[in-house]
Amino acid sequence: MNETRHIRADWIAVDWGTSHVRAWAMGPNGARAEARSDHGMGGLARDAFEPVLLSLVTPWLGSRETPVIVCGMAGARQGWAEAPYRTAPCAAAPDAAISVSGTDPRIDVHILPGVKQVRPADVMRGEETQIAGFVTQESDWDGTLILPGSHCKWVQLSAREIVSFRTTLTGELFAALSDHTVLRHSMGPGWVNSAFDEGVAEGLKNPESLSAKLFGLRAEGLIGSLTPDAARAQLSGMLIGWELAATRPYWLGTDLCLIGDAALSALYARALAAQGASARTLDATDLTLVGLTSAYQALQKVL
Amino acid sequence: MNETRHIRADWIAVDWGTSHVRAWAMGPNGARAEARSDHGMGGLARDAFEPVLLSLVTPWLGSRETPVIVCGMAGARQGWAEAPYRTAPCAAAPDAAISVSGTDPRIDVHILPGVKQVRPADVMRGEETQIAGFVTQESDWDGTLILPGSHCKWVQLSAREIVSFRTTLTGELFAALSDHTVLRHSMGPGWVNSAFDEGVAEGLKNPESLSAKLFGLRAEGLIGSLTPDAARAQLSGMLIGWELAATRPYWLGTDLCLIGDAALSALYARALAAQGASARTLDATDLTLVGLTSAYQALQKVL
């Protein structure tokens, strides 16, 4: 007789982004199983969050109520239940989660708040949990955390506080230019490091001329010698260089740590290295789980 | 008995862009009729151009062969027949058109070349005909022509020559950011002039910080007081201000003339006026027809 070995969760960790949701069955030694779907917050009505969650985690539920700790966009105003922002400067570790009432009795859902900054106006939801995870691991570290992605967060961390932060649109901007402007005809699938480096130098040194240089990528492809692979790398470099121009106070003369996808983090590390700044890289998922575990443990103390 | 009054064309003027094509039945006093479709060059295979043209102009054809003068993307390498670029610096009025062979005997098609610039690399197809039209009307004018649109051309004109030019992606960039990034949630349909003015000043003075200011539009809408209509105007202003930073040598201390859509030209005029630069505005279609007429007359002299 075949026996299905059931995985039970002591508690469930959830990272609910705009385009995806990931859940983990957690035990005393970390994640026992993972489930994910593309039912991100962006496409869900308020009453659709619970069914989506249950479709992912039901196999892990037992007879007792299972705590569920959620970070990310599920706490936005248009999400499952609003978890109002904390205001920076603030402790890196969240001090409170909001409890979602009226759910299926098998789950006890808590959503972590994001962080806002009033001036200059800025917001994050999800990244604060990676930052909390980082601080749990390295409580004495001061410097700047860089969290690249569709949006890139630059976070000044000191004495376990988020002192200030800025967000850039670089990832989305690269995608929008590559897919939805005339540059789409000039982009190849490959990559040329030297073209990336040139782009970084250009974006950082001459941000005022970038607006004209962008069309230049198209023109160089039509009448010059720029290959499609080099054009793609150069565009990426220009936008990251432009971002470095905007975030100079965050990376100049400061300890740096990148948290994110390995390939994208490597590009930022390369661009920073060319300015004489070195950054190590940590995995975002690992830190999200550390941050959610930290929040779960804090919650257990309260209950 | 009803009589249909047939319009005949002495010759036919055509402006074939990437997304649209427009044709005019021309007589001694200008356009007698107009036809258009959305069969732009972008979606057409090489052998589809002639059928599209005939579907628009057949009612205007008579027993004798009718000359057809075409400007724009039909002359691109992927267009109907390649009309190789002239190289700037060059005369504003085109000196040669390429003849398309093997067409329907009722039409005699000539396509005007675009203009390229080697360093910095740049290209235009279609705008050079508006410029030729402008020079036909104002042969003694020196200064900078600004042709806003999805791509905006800045053209230094002197002694009836295109001396140099630069293209920016501002129009496409505004559309890509408004429609394909998180900013789409922050944009209203309306407009706030003061927000546009602030954006222009910001983009022109601090182009290095724009990369972070873009996400700020989203954050200001979420936690601040920026309305969606103001966000849209401010984004437009930022991008035009950024463009003014890139094109400063083209507009500083020079006579300026805008050629384009009235509403878009008014935004550029407003942004320039804030810098103390005044520009008058001329209609792009009018100048396209003057430029095509000029090319037709030059062709008649040759034949």
Q: Read off the pLDDT band of A213 (50, 70, 90).
A: very high
User: Which of B177, B208, B213 minimises the CB distance to A176?
Assistant: B177
Do the Cβ atoms of A212 and B239 come within 8 Å? no
Cβ <8 Å between B151 and A242: no
Q: Do B167 and A212 touch (CB under 8 A)?
A: yes
Percent over 90 (pLDDT), chain B:
93
Say whether pLDDT at A279 is over 70: yes
- B89-135 pLDDT, tens digit each: 999 987 789 999 999 999 999 999 999 999 999 999 999 999 999 99
- Is A3 exposed, middle or buried, given 0-12, 13-18 or 19+ CB atoms closer than 10 A? exposed
Q: How many residues does chain A have?
A: 303
Using CA coordinates, name the residue in chain A closest to B239.
A211
Q: What is the pTM of this model?
A: 0.94
CATH code for the part of the protein at B11-125: 3.30.420.300
B168-282: same fold as B11-125?
yes
Confidence of residue A206 (pLDDT cuts 50, 70, 90): very high
User: What is the tens place of the pLDDT at every residue in A23-82?
Assistant: 999 999 999 999 999 999 988 999 999 999 999 999 999 989 999 999 999 999 999 999
Question: Residue B230: which H helix or E strand, with range?
Answer: helix B228-246
pLDDT digits (tens, 9 = 90+) for A133-148: 999 999 999 999 999 9
Q: In what order do the strands lie in the sheet with B122-124?
A: B86-87, B115-117, B122-124
Q: Cβ–Cβ of B245/A208 closer than 8 Å?
A: yes
Helix (H, G, I), strand (E, B) or coil at B237: helix
For residue B143, with 0-12 CB atoms within 10 Å meaning exposed, 13-18 middle and 19 or more buried, which class applies?
middle
With tokens 């997304």, the residue in question is B19
Of A121, A170, A224, the CB nearest to B211: A170
Show the CA angle centred on residue B83, arms to residues B284 and B126, nearest 5°. 10
Nearest to B212 among A168, A175, A223 (CB): A168
Is B211's CB within 8 Å of A167's CB?
no
Domain boundaries of chain A, sorted by first residue: 11-125, 168-282
**pLDDT, one tens digit for every residue, chain B (303 residues):** 444 468 999 999 999 999 999 999 999 999 999 999 999 998 899 999 999 999 999 999 998 999 999 999 999 999 999 999 999 999 998 778 999 999 999 999 999 999 999 999 999 999 999 999 999 999 999 999 999 999 999 999 999 999 999 999 999 999 999 999 999 999 999 999 999 999 999 999 999 999 999 999 999 999 999 999 999 999 999 999 999 999 999 999 999 999 999 999 999 999 999 999 999 999 999 999 999 999 999 998 876
Q: Evaluate whether the domain defined by A168-282 bears CATH number 3.30.70.890.
A: no
**Residue position matching structure tokens 């030729």:** B132
Alpha-carbon distance of A281 to A239, in angstroms, equals: 20
Contact call for A212 and B246, based on CB within 8 A: yes
Q: Is A204 exposed, middle or buried (0-12, 13-18, 19+ CB in 10 A)?
A: buried
End-to-end CA distance of chain B: 42
Q: Residue B65's Cα: distance from chain center in Å?
A: 30
Compute the distance between CA of residue A23 and CA of residue A33 in angstroms, rounded to an integer: 8
Strands A90-91 and B98-99: unpaired
Q: A5 and A60 in contact (C-beta within 8 Å)? A: no
The per-residue pLDDT for A237 is 98
Both tokens assigned to A123: 């917001």
pLDDT at residue B141, rounded to an integer: 97
What residues pair up with A108 in beta bridges, in sequence order? A67
Question: What local confidence, expressed as pLDDT, does residue A3 receive?
Answer: 40
Q: What is chain B's Cα-based Rg?
A: 21
> Can you give the pLDDT at residue B116?
98
DSSP at B43: G
Q: What is the pLDDT of residues B220-244, one digit of tens each?
A: 999 999 999 999 999 999 999 999 9
CA distance B156 to chain A (A): 15
**Which residue of A175, A179, A246 is in closest CB contact with B210?**
A246
What are the structure tokens assigned to B45, written together? Answer: 């295979």
Q: What is the mean pLDDT of residues A173-178?
A: 96
